[in-house]
Structure 1
Amino acid sequence: MKENNRVLFVGNGIAMQMGIAEKWDTIIKDIAEDYGVKLFPDTNNYLPNNMQIVIATNDNVDKAMAEFCEKLKAISLTDEQKIFGKKILSLPFDKIITTNYTYELEKSVKNNKLFRCTNPKDFRYERSDMTLFGYIPINKNKKVWHIHGHACACNSVIIGHYYYGKLLSKIQQYISSNMKTWIANQKYGREHKIVSWVDSFLTDDVYMFGFGMDLCELDIWWLVCCKKRHFPDSKIYFYVPKWELAENNSRRLLMNAYGIIIREVECENYSDFYNIILDELS
């Protein structure tokens, strides 16, 4: 069996490690205070983040995200923060998927204030759809997909029921139109043409860290299920500190059911965790 290509998948954890982001529960709490909404932790904590944000904004998600993106666009990096970003970019992955709206990876090596998406050439899908196709080139060979939107384009941000539903619908339509080709390529040992991050997620081996696989990420969970059903020879490796996921944790149980390979890292704290991962993956 041929060796699969690989893709790196990172999330808010890397931005937190660089000191430029907060946990989502903190973000939601701050937004609720801005909108004068009283939160009830015993109730709200049972809801996924994409539902909590609806409550916290009194269903003014669009306005809240526009305001939030203005803050995110102003983020700059120190030289020390850039070192961590450069270490991630130096890993042997030509393709990087991130759920972050911010440009901590790109800003580690470029001084741009604005990052514009590049689209694959010569394909039949809507070129302006940055959520599926648009990527930011780091260099000639390395690209970054921001699959949940961009701080520089607040209308692209995926948060709340409405936008998660729209994104999942696009993903399903795209997969439906390409599945026969992918299956034929798999059958005859042909290389899959990577046009969208969805292609890479399904057909490549995925290495995840700094991403919590929260149950609110319904697009990712659906793709995990789809990957297992149609591309069982491609794997997902999920890196996590050994002390973070209890044996009866709902995310662990769901990952086990879907065949995600959980790589538990013996470490004292998150700094150790990332250092160990970067050494291993390099």
Structure 2
Amino acid sequence: MKNPILLIGNDINNISKGQSWKDLLNDIVNFCLPDGCIQLDDRKPFPLLYEEVFLTAIRQTRISETELKTFIARKVQVIAQNEVHEAIRDIAPAHILTTNYEFSLEGVSPSQHDSLINERVFSIFRRYKVGPTFYWHIHGDCLNPLSINLGFEHYGGQLQQMRNYVVSGTTYTSRQAPKQSLVQRVKNGETLRDDSWLDFFFTRDIHIFGLSLDFVETDLWWLLTYRARQKFQRNTIPVKNALYYYIPAEFVQSARFKIDMLTANDVKVIDIAAPDKQSYYQAVLKRIRSL
């Protein structure tokens, strides 16, 4: 496939040596609450754990959220590139959507954004251009710490902005931002201009990998569900594109519950067997090139 559209998560960074996600969680807790009064527990959904840490810290140490997110931005900026990042750039994607905050995928830190409007907190239009590729940081980026989407409150606000853009229409003051909803514009026969990463979920094929799609990702699960309802229930606009989700074959059995939900939401699941993580991602990219 020439110039594909990709949605990429944090797992590709796990090939790089250095700080893991668990290390980052420990660092966040220690930065906010050095007395160790918060216990990490896998049963706590991360957006709510973030709220627990921040709300406890704001009462005890008077820390501001700007301070906390600036600390997190500095931490993720040091994530090193690896061969998978380079291989992704080599296939020259037209667009890369990512939940990652840092710029390992770009290979460089962009000097300025290429977004339709300059967003301070949420990420409906957040776009950078490096080489031939547009990069969309859909959960914020480390150059704009307040945009980093971590807590339950931020997820709720992001979802509100997403639903406005797709369903009911936006309230942005900028003249450049479309006021009518995506659904209404498509229904009216308007040509979409790739203003937002949300456009692609209804119009273009997307290949998703390196993204666990945990159920705490309420914004993305809402988007998948709304798209499927639009296609099979409402039929207000035509939805003819395909979404592909790649998963290592070794995880298929343990992830059956998630695969069933993806399938119900019209996502095509592709399992790939490989001896290690790096080989797996090389195989994913080979498969995408061959389509």
Shorter-chain-normalised TM-score: which range? 0.7 to 0.9
Asked if 1:220 corresponds to 2:216, the answer is no
1:19 aligned residue = 17
- What is the alpha-carbon distance in structure 1 between the residues aligned to residue 90 and residue 229 of structure 2? 32
- What is the alpha-carbon distance in structure 1 between the residues aligned to residue 183 and residue 247 of structure 2? 31
- What is the alpha-carbon distance in structure 2 between the residues aligned to residue 46 and residue 198 of structure 1? 30
- What is the alpha-carbon distance in structure 2 between the residues aligned to residue 279 and residue 17 of structure 1? 18
1:239-274 deviation digits (Å, cap 9, x = unpaired): 010112425643223212212111111122212211
**Equivalences for 1:161-240 in 2 at 5 Å?**
161-176=152-167, 177-185=181-189, 192-231=192-231, 232-240=239-247
1:56-114 deviation digits (Å, cap 9, x = unpaired): 4436582432211122334555xxx3x4322101225201100000000222xx4x4x5
Amino acid at match of 1:18: S
How far the C-alpha of 1:276 sits from its partner, in A, is 0.9
- Is the CA contact (8 Å cut-off) linking 2:9 and 2:100 kept in structure 1? yes
- Is the CA contact (8 Å cut-off) linking 1:101 and 1:151 kept in structure 2? yes
- Is the CA contact (8 Å cut-off) linking 1:95 and 1:144 kept in structure 2? yes
- What is the alpha-carbon distance in structure 2 between the residues aligned to residue 275 and residue 74 of structure 1? 24
Structure 2, unaligned stretches of length 5 or more? 59-63, 168-180, 232-238
- Match 1:241 to one of 225, 228, 248: 248
**Equivalences for 1:21-170 in 2 at 5 Å?**
21-23=19-21, 25-34=22-31, 35=33, 36-40=35-39, 44-57=41-54, 58=56, 60=58, 62=65, 63-75=67-79, 77=81, 81=82, 83-107=83-107, 110=108, 112=109, 115-120=111-116, 127-129=117-119, 131-139=123-131, 141-170=132-161
How far the C-alpha of 1:213 sits from its partner, in A, is 0.5
- What is the alpha-carbon distance in structure 2 between the residues aligned to residue 271 and residue 76 of structure 1? 15
Amino acid at match of 1:29: N
Taking structure 1 as reference, are residues 257 and 76 closer, same or farther at Cα in structure 2, changes over 3 Å only? closer
Structure 1, unaligned stretches of length 5 or more? 121-126
1:253 aligned residue = 260
Taking structure 1 as reference, are residues 59 and 179 closer, same or farther at Cα in structure 2, changes over 3 Å only? farther
How far the C-alpha of 1:182 sits from its partner, in A, is 1.5
Taking structure 1 as reference, are residues 246 and 59 closer, same or farther at Cα in structure 2, changes over 3 Å only? farther
- What is the alpha-carbon distance in structure 1 between the residues aligned to residue 273 and residue 48 of structure 2? 33
Asked if 1:264 corresponds to 2:277, the answer is no
How far the C-alpha of 1:46 sits from its partner, in A, is 2.5
How far the C-alpha of 1:30 sits from its partner, in A, is 3.4
- Match 2:5 to one of 4, 7, 25: 7
How many residue pairs were aligned?
A: 257
- Is the CA contact (8 Å cut-off) linking 1:8 and 1:207 kept in structure 2? yes
- Is the CA contact (8 Å cut-off) linking 1:18 and 1:84 kept in structure 2? no
Percent sequence identity over aligned pairs: 20
Secondary structure in 1 matching 2:274: coil
Q: TM-score, normalised by structure 1?
A: 0.81
- Is the CA contact (8 Å cut-off) linking 1:148 and 1:157 kept in structure 2? yes
- What is the alpha-carbon distance in structure 2 between the residues aligned to residue 281 and residue 21 of structure 1? 29
- Is the CA contact (8 Å cut-off) linking 1:203 and 1:227 kept in structure 2? no
- Is the CA contact (8 Å cut-off) linking 2:84 and 2:278 kept in structure 1? no
Secondary structure in 2 matching 1:148: coil
- What is the alpha-carbon distance in structure 2 between the residues aligned to residue 251 and residue 39 of structure 1? 30
Amino acid at match of 1:70: R
Q: TM-score, normalised by structure 2?
A: 0.79
- What is the alpha-carbon distance in structure 2 between the residues aligned to residue 97 and residue 20 of structure 1? 23
Asked if 1:277 corresponds to 2:252, the answer is no
- What is the alpha-carbon distance in structure 2 between the residues aligned to residue 73 and residue 12 of structure 1? 13
Secondary structure in 1 matching 2:149: coil
Secondary structure in 2 matching 1:128: coil
How far the C-alpha of 1:212 sits from its partner, in A, is 0.6
